[in-house]
Every structure is written in C-alpha cells, then in structure tokens.
Chains A and B, each alone.
Chain A
Amino acid sequence: MEADDGRNERSGSVAGLSLPSRVAVAIGVAVVTVAAAVHLAMVFLHVAPPNVVSKEHSAAIGDYIYPEFEQNWKLFAPNPLQQNIAVQARAELRGADGRSTVTQWFDLSAQDGAAIHHNPFPSHTQQNELRRAWDFYVGSHDAKEQPMGMRGELSEQYVRRIVMLRLGAERDGRPVERVQVRSVTRSVAPPPWSDEKAATKPTYRVLGWWPVTTADLPEAKNR
C-alpha cells in the first residue's frame, strides 16, 4: 500500500531502542541470517555437481528448490551442443475415395531457422517452442519410444499439437488422419583448422504414426 518513502534518518539507532525492541531486532537478525544462509546453501548444492552432501540430502534440496528456484547454468557446458537436430513431420491424408496418401517430410526446424534468419529479436515460438518440446520428448521417453509417466504422455501430446499447428488440420482440402515425426541429427563439421574427421551421415530417430484426434488440434490463430 504505502510506498517505501526512503526516509532513513536514523543510523545505527538500534542502540537507542528499548530492550524489547532490541530483542526483536536480535531475533530478526538471527532469522534473516539463517534464512539467507540456508537459501544460498540449497542453491549451491542444487547447482553443484552431485557430491556427498547433495546426494545424502537430495530429497530436502529438491523440496526446497523445486519448482520456483530451479536453475541450470550449465550454459554451453561442459561442451556446447555440436549437432543440429531438426524435427520433421509428415502427414497421412484421407482422400475423398477413402484411400490415404502420405505427404513429404516437412522440416519444421528449418522453418524456425528461416524465421530466426536476420531477425534481431527471435520469438520464443521460433527459438524455443519446438526445440525444447523435442528435448522434453527425448527426456521423457525410453529407447523404445515408450513414454515415462505423465510427463512422457504430455510431451507426446505437446509435440503432436505443435506439429498440427504448423501442418494445419487439413492439407489440400483433405483432413490429416495421422502424423509421423522424426528427428534428423547432423553433427556440426569440425573447424577447418582441426584435424578431426568431418561429420558422418545424419542419424534419424523415427517415431511411429500417431492418429490425430480433435484434442491434438491447437487453435492458436495469431501465428
């Protein structure tokens, strides 16, 4: 309500206070000191590599840090990402005669790249949406593409909805029945002055066909 007025006419006035006030201040100093120390210790243990203390108290640290004080500062560390991971999708369309046709692969990451090209202020929808959705999918699925828990299910739905937003519910007037998603990983070629071998062929991770339901159709219009 009332703003801070910045009047701080007293300085070192704690000594001038009555005994009860000084006790209150002393308690305040103790509480705030302990709180700040605990907070910093928790954040430190959270960002530090797993160690004897953080392993033993991992539950307490997790309780404290998540969800609001989560942080990850391994920026381009220990090594920067050295691969371009492109997420691509294709659709199966239902024809008027009941027969299905499959579209070509659409490179959705390349679309992001084109939107970022010569853009001083790339949007999170171009730089983070698909890229991080795919990270989320990869992180919540096992090698057999089985979802791990609720997060796995959510990540599938998220990727599917991003794909449907970009492909559209229909193509050439024909409804999309199923979609398939794959990732294409290409290593960045080593620098010309390096004697490392040039990158090998791209690697593919191809998911199964997903039937499209109305729950997979986002309605974000203002793209």
Chain B
Amino acid sequence: MSTLTTSLARGIDRVTGSPLGRYQAAVIRIGISFVWLCFLIREWPNRHEMYGTDGPWNWEMARRLTADNHAFTALVWSDSGLWFETVYALALVASVLLLLGWRTRTMSVLFMIGVLSLQNRSVFLGDGGDNVIHLLSLYLVLTRCGLVWSLDARRARRRARAAAAAQKAEEKTEETPGETAGGKGNPVGHDVCGIVLWALCGLALAVVQAAGHSRMMWTTNGPLPGLGWAAVFWGLWLVQGLWWCVRRYAPGEPRAVLNVFADLAHNAAMLVIMAEVCLIYATAGWYKIQGSRWQDGTALYYPLHLDYFAPWPELSRVLAGNSVMVLLLSYGTVAVQVAFPFTLLNRRVKNVLLGVMMIEHLGIAVALGLPFFSLAMIVADAVFLPTSFLKRLGSSVGRVRERVLAGRTEAVPQQREGEAAARTLVP
C-alpha cells in the first residue's frame, strides 16, 4: 500500500513539477504550423473556390450546415469578400508566428481559429491530413509548446541575462541604480507588446460577441458539451491576463500554483496527443486486419490503381507490378500499424518503428500524391521522437544557422558566439 502511495505521490510530483516533453511539443508546434502554412500557400490560387463566398460550397450552404452541426467557423460571421480575405490572411500570419514561436500561447489560439474557420467552412474538401491538423491545433492550445526553439524562449533568455547583468552591476557599484544595465532587458512589467496584443484580442472578442450573429454561446455549441466558444475564448483571454498579473504582482506562491496548472494542462494535452497517435494507428491497423485484401496481401495494389491517387502512374505500375513487393508492403503496413502502440514499451523498438513509419509516409506522400496528409502524419509521429535526438537535431540546426549567419554578417561575431553559448544553457 505504501509503495502505491509513494509512486502515486511521485507521479503527481512529476506531472505538476515540470512540463514534460517540451522538445516534442515544440516539434509538433513547428511541424503542424509548417504543414498548414504550406497548404495555405499551395491553395492560395484556389482559395475562393474552396472557402470563398461564391465557391461551389457557397456561404449560404456553409451557414446552413454549420447552423445544424454547430462547427466553429469565423467565416460564417460575414459573407463579405473582405472578411474572407482577412481570415485567410490571418490564418497565414498565425501559422508563421506560431512556427517562429512568437507569443506562442496567443498564436496557438489564433492558429486554431484559422484552422477551424477554414476547414469547417468547407468540410467536404478535407481528408485525413486535415483531420490530423484539426485535432493537433485544438490540443496545441493547452500545451506550453513555446518553451524551446521559439522567439519567446529567446526573449526569456535575453531577459534573464539582462537581469543577471543588472544584478551584477548593482553589486559592483552601489550608487548607480539598476536602471542603466536593466533598461534593455525588459522586466516583466514593461512588456508593452504583450499588453497591446492582449488588449487587441480582448477588443476583437468583444466586437465579435457584440455583433451577435457569431453564434458564440457560453454553454452550448462549443468544442465540448456544456462549454461554448465564448467561454473558451474569454476564459483563455482571462487566464492570459491573470498570468501576467501574477507574474507582475505576486511572483511567489500564486505564480507557483499557476505554473503547476500550466504544467498539468500541458502534460495532459501531450498525453492526449500521444494517445491520439496510438489510436490513429490502432484503428487503421485493426480495421485492416479484417479486410480480405489485406489478408491476401494484395491491398496495396488497389490504391496504386486509383485515378485520384496516382500522380506517377509509371511509379505505381512498378510498385504494383511486383507481387512479392505488394505482399510485403501490405503485410508490413498492417504489422507496423497494429504493433506501434505496444512498441512504446520498448524504447529501441519504438524508435526503429517510428523511423519505418516516417519513411512509409514519405513514400505515401509521393506515390499516392498525398503530401500534406503524409507530412501531418509525420509531425504527429514526431511526438514520440526521443528527447536526446531532438536536442542533437536542435544543436546541429543551430550550428548550421550560426555558420550561415556568420558567413553573411561577419561584423558581429561576438554577439553570435554569446548567443550560441546561451542556447546550450537552455534546459
């Protein structure tokens, strides 16, 4: 009994003590915003046909369907072309900023609004890839996905350095106040940009709410039963405000408690993302086992002969022409998908399988002409990449960047060095 209590206590300590998987969260953030950004750029010439007021699935039809199924889309708030262009542009901008990790927590919400608005506006355009992006954009809102590899993290580092420098300077010369050294490293309270962004978001929310036709309810028609979108958005907005206030005026215990809550939500969301990926593979695999084509090992032959999924008929013919190859790939796909959730028990096997699945998705991207679906799946898979690998990846990307930047601007080598050193210190 006591061992159970101890391990329970240790578990609680762990999920409340720190945000777990911060590199994995950052990979999901960067990956999914990159995929969505590429998709938005790819579909830029087709955007009116897909989501515009007068496309085949026009505004009125979308309004009727979403009034019935209560899916969230900001695009039904107005049928003006300007509003449509604004939403599409905002979705693009939010993707870029989320990718860079600028004001991550706000951008993750705007990113989600962009994804839901476009996808739910024309729900019959989507495929499995859109579904993955849709779910991850919802879950990302609850994660602290900007702790590493983000502009937010860089700003935090600089502020910490400036604060440390200021303290040192103060210790050396008692007579000069901290103002001189600390002026550059914005202490928390002087975050004008953040306050402006927060105020703008609040203003936008108020306008939308006041306009009335937004269908933003408090307890109905939201993402979960009993939780309306108005409650979600205002709630997130208030939490942001509270977070700032606590950091500014109550840095002690209230802040520690809020931090615990943030970690808790993050850890739960990461767990849900991981479980979601397992469910994707389990479902895909277990349903396949029941199929006669997967049993006789010819399944892969058929999609390669579907006109909608054959961008490279020559390649499809080669792949589908070899009976043993088709058999091995068909059986291999089922085996890998069914096995994946269980390989999580063994780190090495899991990593091997992860690599295999990513390669298979790259193959699907090309052979079946599904690049965005495959990329989204690879991003989802990445939640299981080992931290040590991600750290190594991060530092080699950092080194490449240093070299590129050093090559271009030789004037400021000292600053770069300092930055590189600081990066290694980041947990």
Chain B residue nearest to A109 (CB atoms) is: B307
Chain A residue nearest to B107 (CB atoms) is: A3
- Is B120's CB under 8 angstroms from A67's CB? yes
Provide the bound-state CA to CA distance between A6 and B257, in Å: 15
Q: How far is the CB of B55 from chain A (nearest CB, A)?
A: 5
Chain B residue nearest to A133 (CB atoms) is: B124
Provide the bound-state CA to CA distance between A151 and B62, in Å: 11
Provide the bound-state CA to CA distance between A63 and B220, in Å: 11
Provide the bound-state CA to CA distance between A112 and B311, in Å: 11
Residues of B within 8 A of A81 (CB): 302-303, 306
Residues of A within 8 A of B244 (CB): 1-2
- Is B259's CB under 8 angstroms from A8's CB? yes
- Is A36's CB under 8 angstroms from B271's CB? yes
* Chain B stretch 91-123: residues in CB contact (< 8 A) with chain A: 102-106, 116, 120
Given A8-B18, A10-B17, A119-B369, A157 contacting B259 (CB threshold 8 A): no
* Chain A stretch 59-93: residues in CB contact (< 8 A) with chain B: 60, 63-64, 66-82, 84, 86
Chain B residue nearest to A40 (CB atoms) is: B275
Residue A142 is within 8 A (CB to CB) of chain B in the complex: no
Residue B409 is within 8 A (CB to CB) of chain A in the complex: no
- Is B371's CB under 8 angstroms from A82's CB? no
* Chain A stretch 117-132: residues in CB contact (< 8 A) with chain B: 117-125, 127-129, 131-132
Residue B191 is within 8 A (CB to CB) of chain A in the complex: yes
- Is B275's CB under 8 angstroms from A79's CB? no
Q: How far is the CB of B222 from chain A (nearest CB, A)?
A: 8
* Chain A stretch 188-218: residues in CB contact (< 8 A) with chain B: 188-194, 218
- Is B310's CB under 8 angstroms from A116's CB? yes
Q: How far is the CB of B13 from chain A (nearest CB, A)?
A: 5
Residues of B within 8 A of A194 (CB): 298
Q: How far is the CB of A35 from chain B (nearest CB, A)?
A: 7
Residues of A within 8 A of B49 (CB): 125, 129, 165, 218, 220, 222-223
Residue B171 is within 8 A (CB to CB) of chain A in the complex: no
Residue A150 is within 8 A (CB to CB) of chain B in the complex: yes
- Is B127's CB under 8 angstroms from A4's CB? no
Residue A154 is within 8 A (CB to CB) of chain B in the complex: yes
Query: Do most interface residues of chain B lie in helix, strand or loop, or is the interface mixed?
Result: helix
Partner of B54, one of A8, A86, A121, A219: A219
Residues of B within 8 A of A80 (CB): 291, 293, 299-300, 302-303
Residue A28 is within 8 A (CB to CB) of chain B in the complex: yes
Residues of A within 8 A of B323 (CB): 191, 193
Provide the bound-state CA to CA distance between A65 and B108, in Å: 21
- Is B17's CB under 8 angstroms from A13's CB? yes
- Is B56's CB under 8 angstroms from A116's CB? no
Residue A106 is within 8 A (CB to CB) of chain B in the complex: no
Partner of A47, one of B48, B243, B283, B290: B283
* Chain B stretch 34-49: residues in CB contact (< 8 A) with chain A: 42-43, 45-49
Given A66-B69, A124-B43, A150-B64, A158 contacting B268 (CB threshold 8 A): no
6 CB < 8 A contacts A-B: A3-B146, A6-B426, A10-B17, A74-B284, A191-B298, A219-B54
**B→A interface (CB under 8 Å):** 12-13, 15-19, 22, 42-43, 45-50, 52, 54-58, 61, 64-65, 68-72, 102-106, 116, 120, 124-128, 131, 134-135, 138, 144, 146-148, 152-153, 155-156, 159-160, 188, 191, 194-195, 197-198, 201, 223-225, 240-241, 243-244, 247, 253, 256-257, 259-265, 268, 271-272, 275-276, 279-280, 283-284, 287-294, 298-303, 305-313, 320-321, 323, 326, 366, 369, 371-372, 426-427
Interface contacts beyond A75-B128, A120-B369, A129-B50: sample of 14 additional A-B pairs, CB < 8 Å, sorted by A: A1-B240, A2-B198, A8-B18, A10-B259, A25-B257, A44-B279, A67-B120, A70-B131, A73-B280, A78-B290, A79-B294, A188-B302, A191-B298, A223-B46
